Structure 1
Amino acid sequence: MIPLGVRLALAGGREAVTRLAVITAAVALGVGLLLAALAGMNAVGTQNQRYAWLNTAVVPAADASATDAMLWQVRRDYYHGRSIGRVEIAALGPGAPVPPGMPRLPGPGEYYASPALDALLRSTPAAELGDRFPGHPIGLLGRDALPSPDSLLIVLGRTPAQLEPLGPQRVDRIMTTSPDECTMDCYVGINGAGMKLTLAAVAAGLLFPVLIFIGTATRLAATRREQRFAAMRLVGATPRQTSVISAVESTLAAAVGTAAGFGVFLALRPGLAAIPFTGERFFGTDLSLTAADLLLVAVGIPLGAVVASVLALRRVRISPLGVSRRVTPRPPRAWRLIPLVAGLAELAYFIGRRPQSTDGQITAYISGFVLTLIGLVLAGPWLTMTGARLLAGRAGRPAALIAGRRLADNPQAGFRSISGLVVALFVTSVATGTITTFVANRGAPSGDSLAVSSLAKTFWPEDGPAPSADQIPAGLAAVPGVRQVIVLRHNPDRNAWQGLITCAELDRLRVFGGCPAGAEVAAVPSDLVGPRALDLPAQERHVWDAATIPAAEVARQPILSIVVDTTGPVAFERARTMMINAFPRGQFPASGAEWAADNSRELVQFQRLADVIMLASLPIAGCSLAAAVAGGLSDRKRPFSMLRLTGVQLGTLRRVVALETVVPLLVVSVVALGTGFLAAHLFLRAQLRYDLLAPPPSFWLMVAAGLAVSLAIVASTLPLLRRITGPEAARND
């Protein structure tokens, strides 16, 4: 049976070869995307492992007096919004541990820089960046120390006397535990578990349309294949023999497609490495596959093809005559709406009842989304039937009447052709609606916000005594582009991050807000911007709360922070460099926008992933639609040929085919988009208490383009009608 199956698959004429080619392409696409998702998950773990050494300070030296130790301090700096990791070390003896990526510890006045930072230092005026790093370079950090090719890292050598006043940690070993596995409050790294979960969701979102594409491709010429296998049954073939022949055909295509899928993955890998899913690019070798990944794909995909082929022949196995004695299938029942309603109800149930644990939230929401998606696919035929009956009931032309009746007789087949696009629209609407709302509520401030142009240095109590006014660099106000240097005082009536400023000073500044009527002193955040005014444009004035302290007492309070208002990035960075050198203790000065960008970096990653889902899933769904329409025309060429012989014009048949696809496409697409946005709204209300915001115009343009391409695909198949509905097709085979 196996040789016969191979022969039938390869020597069955143009139709068989075309079918094998389409199945192979579908499987190759699915395998390539699956491998890319698996490699992406592996890359997240590999990248996170290279963050481990930056968490060395979480494990202090066991013996504080040991000489085989060193002083260690890690802080974050910025340049034009990009984060710079600054590591300062001072060896206490010859046996001090050496971090990865460098042959030896840098001595006092020496440093190692990452290749990206080294290039930046060479191309940037020293007053803006280089003057922050005392000493001279002695080499570049190796890949073992770099999470990404774009990482900005520097390791500075200092003497113990230079480093001790800055409050370093004494360590005697380098951390090697990945932040994912760290149980000691590691603070540098990425949420690998969350990112892997997100990539898994992306993989599922992409694979649903791909699986539908594969299923659609396997049904090409389904009627002809069923007739062929039924004839084999009638001449004596057993159900097992027909199953073997079908499995050989499907396994052959799946095996070739799987091999081609590895080629697709290798072709995609350089582009995937350049996408900063975690905020930074991957090294190409990070996107690797384990032996388990290879075995899972190489064995699982062909095995799945065999199962699909056996299920596809279930009618022939029951009765070979059943293929010829076709009857109208039973219409879908309204119970198909139950899973869809149940999925939405589950998401709605957790509004006000959000699970406390992360695992509980994952279980609650993922199961709700999956149940809703399954419900949408199950409800599709019923919705198609409803739309078809409305079309037939209001039909004024023969084409609409024929299309409506045919769809109403077999809505399962009508929905099957557009199911991939429907799934893609649901997934993209959920992702876009959720992420758009995330970014709008918790993203970085707008470009004209004061949070972008003002720089703040706060003196926290744990950093030591605050400076006096005469310690502020006199040249700071003289930097070209610096408009104001504002000193905020500590507010004894509020918590540590609240400051004081007189209303007279605030009225002079104006752009930073104002005081309530009758107040003398305002209570303001330490950066004069704060979360309430984070997105407040400079032309709008925010009113701060009044403070109870008299204006005469403000100047007697310790300095809380220094805020520098600038006109551009050059002045901003020059002022930052001057403040870092003047006040080296504690956190380095930064803008509110830079802090917000750190917090919203993960949201931006999710936005990129949503774009990937949309850009990849819609073309895949279009391919599935093309295969379904072409296959449907091939299976119905004899009925259409009979209609032409009875006098039906070719244009009428073309309108029938178009309506049979367009009606379910538009009806179920509207339902899919509405269901996706409703599911996103319920999730946002349950998890974050946000209301869904409208997606950007680019989303609607993308959806319109996807639907337009789908309609164009349908139109491109219509010329086939003339070729396949000639008189010769009306003969019984």
Structure 2
Amino acid sequence: MIRFALRLSLAGGREAAIRLVIITTAVALGVGMLLTTLAGMNAVGAQNQRYAWLNTAVAPPSPDTSADPMWWLIREDYYHGRSIGRVEVAALGPDAPVPPGIPRLPGPGEFYVSPALGELLRTTPAAELGDRFPGHEIGTIGRTALPSPESLLIVIGRTSTELEQLGARQVTQIMDTSPSGCNGCYVGINGDGMALVLSVVAAALLFPVLIFIGTATRLAATRREQRFAAMRLIGATPRQISVISAVESAAAAMAGTAVGLGLFFAFRPGLATIPFTGEPFFATDLSLAVVDVLLVALGIPVGAVVASWLALRRVQISPLGVSRRVTPKPPRAWRVIPLVAGIAELAYFVGRRPDTTNGQLTAYLSGFLLILIGLVLAGPWLTMAGARVLAGRASRPAALIAGRRLSDNPQAGFRSVSGLIVALFVTSVATGTITTFVANRGEPRTDSVAATSLSKMFWPEDGPAPTADQIPTGLETIPGVRSVTVVHRNPAPDGWHGLITCAELDRLAVFGSCRAGAEVAAVAGDLIGMRAFDLTTDTYVWEDAGIAASEVDRQPILSVVVDTTSRSAFEQARTMLINAFPRERFPASVGEWEAASAQQLIQFQRLANVVMLASLPIAGCSLAVSVAGGLSDRKRPFSMLRLTGMQLRTLRRVVALETVVPLLAVAAVAIGAGFLAAHLFLRSQLDYPLLPPHLSFYLMVAGGLAVSLGIIASTLPLLGRITGPETARND
């Protein structure tokens, strides 16, 4: 039976060959996407493992006394917004542990650098970067210690006395536990969270691909059903029919799996450059385990067989099922209930946010899931409602015919575009939420004072505050430095931590102002604070500190804030402050801190964009296959219509409306539901109103829909070739 099924599939003429090619293409896309997701999960794990050694100070003391201790200090520095990992070490014996990637510990006045940082040091003026690092370069950090090809890392040798004064910690082992499995690690990726996100991406991509496979399987379904029904009538069993239909899909699926493997390895170098985790991967990080390959090689053909079986299940039930064709029952309005219930649940929690994290997850995730399920269930009913409106308002024959056909079988019209629901809904929710969050609490504008000024803080736990004569006088002479401001510590236990006179605030002009009649303002230590979340104006009014201006200079210094007009001046000032005050946290801008905190959200937005950009063309291909299959099945009726005088362009309008209307309707409903869900979530969780997405979102949607419509339009010339008079005469 398998041999007969292969012969029937491969020797079935041009129609069978086209069907096999389309199924192979669909499977290849699915395999490529699935392999990319699995390899991405492996790459996240590999990259995270190479972050492990940077968490060495987190490791508990080793019980092994054979290793000599060493001083260890790690801090984060920045250059043009890019994070630099700075590790400073000093051996306390010949058997001190050595970090990966270097042959030995650097001595005082020596350092190792990553290739990317080494290139920066060679191309950047020393006053902006190189002068921060004492000593000279003696080697390059090897790949085993680099999370990414673009990682900026440096390992600096110091004396024991220097590191003890800088607050370093003694360690006797190098951390080798991945940050995902480490309690208290502060450098690395949440590998479990990223794996979960990538799994959602894989599901969102595979859903339209499986629909594509099912649609391709139904190509020329009418003729195949008639053939299978004839086999049933002459004695073929349902099991034999299932084998015949499954063999065709399995053969195409295996070929598609091989093509998909080839596509993955061909595009792997390019995929590795995409910074899913904030930094690109090494190409070899995108690796596949034997289990991954077996899972895909076996799972995808099985999925294709199931899709084939579901597409042709009617013939397997009864040999007369093909001839007993009636208009399907119209979908009922109850399908809208889950959609309305999901929206109502999210709306209920506006002003009633659950107190616990688990309660919030349960409330919001269940609401999103209900809406998504509701969209899929309500799709046929919405398609039917739209089709009836189209038919009721039709003023031309094409609109009337298309509307009637869609309303008679809305399930078939919705089936081809249902894969868009997941992609557009997920993308709309992610885009709306992330855009609003970043606008309210993300990276400030590059021209705002939060991005152009940097601050060096001196907290009480860091030791004695510096005196005024310790602040480098050269800061004010750097070209491009607009102001150098000293903020003093506020003795009041509550309110803002800093003090500055109102006269100084007025002179600076860009850091806000005082209340009327006040002499001293209570300010944030960096003169920005929470204002970074809303820097649309420089007229922020600080609270009155309630003390005399003459008392300010008597308080310890809390920070030095330098405002600049150029990136060069910004980095020179940072270098000068690092060298003057090498203890604790290095100076940085609020913009850099906020950009780092928003980085993961931006990564999720990239993944959401990938889902949308990949799903829209796939949905277009599904529609194109559906159109081609529908034309093949209806060529005789269309031929008869042409013989009665209907023009070819009218028939093309009918076909275009039958496909374009569901596509645009589903896109509009999914995007609208996504933005509504995002708005309700933001109001409930953060009390933010939804902000309009950036123009890039609309351009991506429009571009994806344009590609999909172009794919559909490419099938319309087929109508003229298959609806000639000879078709009506011969069929």
Q: Same fold (TM over 0.5)?
A: yes
User: Which one of the candidate residues 701, 711, 719 is aligned to 1:721?
Assistant: 719
User: Contact 1:392–1:400 (CA<8 Å) still a contact in 2?
Assistant: yes
1:712 corresponding residue in structure 2: 710
TM-score (norm. length: structure 2): 0.96
User: How many Å apart are 1:163 and its aligned residue?
Assistant: 1.1
User: Contact 1:534–1:592 (CA<8 Å) still a contact in 2?
Assistant: no
Corresponding pairs, count:
731
| Counterpart mapping for 1:147-226 below 5 A | 147-183=147-183, 185-226=184-225
**1:55 equivalenced with 2:58 (yes/no):** no
Deviations 1:462-514 (A, max 9, x none): 21111111111222211222222111111100469711111112222122221
Q: 1: CA distance between counterparts of 2:643 and 2:151?
A: 71
Change in 2 beyond 3 A, CA 1:496/1:150:
farther
**1:666 equivalenced with 2:657 (yes/no):** no
User: How many Å apart are 1:632 and its aligned residue?
Assistant: 1.2
Change in 2 beyond 3 A, CA 1:714/1:303:
closer
Q: 2: CA distance between counterparts of 1:616 and 1:700?
A: 15
Q: Secondary structure at the match of 1:630?
A: helix
One-letter amino acid matched to 2:287: S
| Counterpart mapping for 1:365-404 below 5 A | 365-404=364-403
User: How many Å apart are 1:65 and its aligned residue?
Assistant: 10
User: Contact 1:515–1:543 (CA<8 Å) still a contact in 2?
Assistant: yes
2:573 corresponding residue in structure 1: 575
One-letter amino acid matched to 1:455: L
User: How many Å apart are 1:217 and its aligned residue?
Assistant: 1.3
Larger CA deviation: 189-198 vs 364-373: 364-373
**1:482 equivalenced with 2:481 (yes/no):** yes
Change in 2 beyond 3 A, CA 1:295/1:144:
same
| Counterpart mapping for 1:84-99 below 5 A | 84-99=84-99
Larger CA deviation: 547-556 vs 369-378: 369-378
User: How many Å apart are 1:7 and its aligned residue?
Assistant: 0.8
2:405 corresponding residue in structure 1: 406
Deviations 1:139-184 (A, max 9, x none): 111111111111111011111111111011111111111111112x
User: Contact 1:60–1:169 (CA<8 Å) still a contact in 2?
Assistant: no
User: How many Å apart are 1:64 and its aligned residue?
Assistant: 12
User: Contact 2:438–2:598 (CA<8 Å) still a contact in 1?
Assistant: yes
User: How many Å apart are 1:579 and its aligned residue?
Assistant: 1.1
**1:35 equivalenced with 2:29 (yes/no):** no
Larger CA deviation: 339-348 vs 484-493: 339-348
User: How many Å apart are 1:66 and its aligned residue?
Assistant: 8.8
One-letter amino acid matched to 1:336: R
User: How many Å apart are 1:534 and its aligned residue?
Assistant: 5.2
User: Contact 1:446–1:535 (CA<8 Å) still a contact in 2?
Assistant: no
1:633 corresponding residue in structure 2: 631
Task: Give ranges in structure 2 of 5+ residues lacking alignment.
Answer: none
1:531 corresponding residue in structure 2: 530
Identity rate of aligned residues, in percent? 75
**1:608 equivalenced with 2:606 (yes/no):** yes
1:521 corresponding residue in structure 2: 520
2:130 corresponding residue in structure 1: 130
User: Contact 1:489–1:501 (CA<8 Å) still a contact in 2?
Assistant: yes
Q: 2: CA distance between counterparts of 1:249 and 1:109?
A: 70
Deviations 1:515-570 (A, max 9, x none): 11111111111111212255526x73221111122111111111111111222111
1:237 corresponding residue in structure 2: 236
Change in 2 beyond 3 A, CA 1:534/1:209:
same
User: How many Å apart are 1:17 and its aligned residue?
Assistant: 0.3
2:139 corresponding residue in structure 1: 139
User: Contact 1:488–1:526 (CA<8 Å) still a contact in 2?
Assistant: yes
1:45 corresponding residue in structure 2: 45
Q: 1: CA distance between counterparts of 2:512 and 2:486?
A: 15
One-letter amino acid matched to 1:40: G
User: Contact 2:112–2:155 (CA<8 Å) still a contact in 1?
Assistant: yes
Deviations 1:266-286 (A, max 9, x none): 122212210111111111111
One-letter amino acid matched to 1:479: I
Q: 2: CA distance between counterparts of 1:259 and 1:365?
A: 40
User: How many Å apart are 1:132 and its aligned residue?
Assistant: 0.8
Task: Give ranges in structure 1 of 5+ residues lacking alignment.
Answer: none
Q: 2: CA distance between counterparts of 1:496 and 1:41?
A: 45
User: How many Å apart are 1:390 and its aligned residue?
Assistant: 1.9
Runs of 4+ in 1 over 6 A off after TM superposition: 63-67
TM-score (norm. length: structure 1): 0.96
| Counterpart mapping for 1:53-92 below 5 A | 53-61=53-61, 68-92=68-92
Q: CA RMSD in A?
A: 2.1
Q: 1: CA distance between counterparts of 2:162 and 2:310?
A: 74
1:680 corresponding residue in structure 2: 678
User: Contact 2:620–2:712 (CA<8 Å) still a contact in 1?
Assistant: no
2:264 corresponding residue in structure 1: 265
User: Contact 1:30–1:261 (CA<8 Å) still a contact in 2?
Assistant: yes
| Counterpart mapping for 1:286-435 below 5 A | 286-351=285-350, 364-435=363-434
1:24 corresponding residue in structure 2: 24
User: Which one of the candidate residues 541, 544, 555 is aligned to 2:553?
Assistant: 555
User: How many Å apart are 1:364 and its aligned residue?
Assistant: 4.9
Q: Secondary structure at the match of 1:555?
A: helix
Change in 2 beyond 3 A, CA 1:42/1:65:
closer
Change in 2 beyond 3 A, CA 1:194/1:335:
same
User: How many Å apart are 1:574 and its aligned residue?
Assistant: 1.1
Larger CA deviation: 318-327 vs 76-85: 318-327
One-letter amino acid matched to 2:603: Q
Change in 2 beyond 3 A, CA 1:2/1:533:
closer
Larger CA deviation: 488-497 vs 26-35: 488-497
Change in 2 beyond 3 A, CA 1:247/1:356:
farther
User: How many Å apart are 1:329 and its aligned residue?
Assistant: 1.2
Change in 2 beyond 3 A, CA 1:177/1:451:
same
User: Which one of the candidate residues 640, 643, 648 is aligned to 1:642?
Assistant: 640
Deviations 1:370-398 (A, max 9, x none): 43223212211111111222222222222
Q: 2: CA distance between counterparts of 1:428 and 1:651?
A: 36
Q: 2: CA distance between counterparts of 1:26 and 1:703?
A: 22
User: Contact 1:149–1:281 (CA<8 Å) still a contact in 2?
Assistant: yes
User: Contact 1:276–1:282 (CA<8 Å) still a contact in 2?
Assistant: yes
User: Contact 1:490–1:496 (CA<8 Å) still a contact in 2?
Assistant: no
Larger CA deviation: 623-632 vs 164-173: 623-632
User: How many Å apart are 1:18 and its aligned residue?
Assistant: 0.3
Q: Secondary structure at the match of 2:570?
A: helix
One-letter amino acid matched to 2:121: L
Q: 2: CA distance between counterparts of 1:604 and 1:524?
A: 30
**1:285 equivalenced with 2:284 (yes/no):** yes
User: How many Å apart are 1:619 and its aligned residue?
Assistant: 1.5
2:543 corresponding residue in structure 1: 545
User: Contact 1:449–1:535 (CA<8 Å) still a contact in 2?
Assistant: no
Q: 2: CA distance between counterparts of 1:123 and 1:487?
A: 33
One-letter amino acid matched to 2:423: A
User: Contact 2:106–2:112 (CA<8 Å) still a contact in 1?
Assistant: yes
Q: Secondary structure at the match of 1:323?
A: coil
One-letter amino acid matched to 1:100: P
User: Contact 1:384–1:411 (CA<8 Å) still a contact in 2?
Assistant: yes
One-letter amino acid matched to 2:390: L
Q: 2: CA distance between counterparts of 1:649 and 1:62?
A: 85
1:654 corresponding residue in structure 2: 652
One-letter amino acid matched to 1:636: R
Larger CA deviation: 95-104 vs 359-368: 359-368
1:703 corresponding residue in structure 2: 701
**1:274 equivalenced with 2:269 (yes/no):** no
Q: Secondary structure at the match of 1:693?
A: coil
Change in 2 beyond 3 A, CA 1:544/1:360:
closer
Larger CA deviation: 19-28 vs 605-614: 605-614
User: How many Å apart are 1:586 and its aligned residue?
Assistant: 1.2
Larger CA deviation: 379-388 vs 116-125: 379-388
User: Contact 1:449–1:534 (CA<8 Å) still a contact in 2?
Assistant: no
Larger CA deviation: 574-583 vs 310-319: 310-319
Q: 2: CA distance between counterparts of 1:102 and 1:620?
A: 47
User: How many Å apart are 1:368 and its aligned residue?
Assistant: 3.6
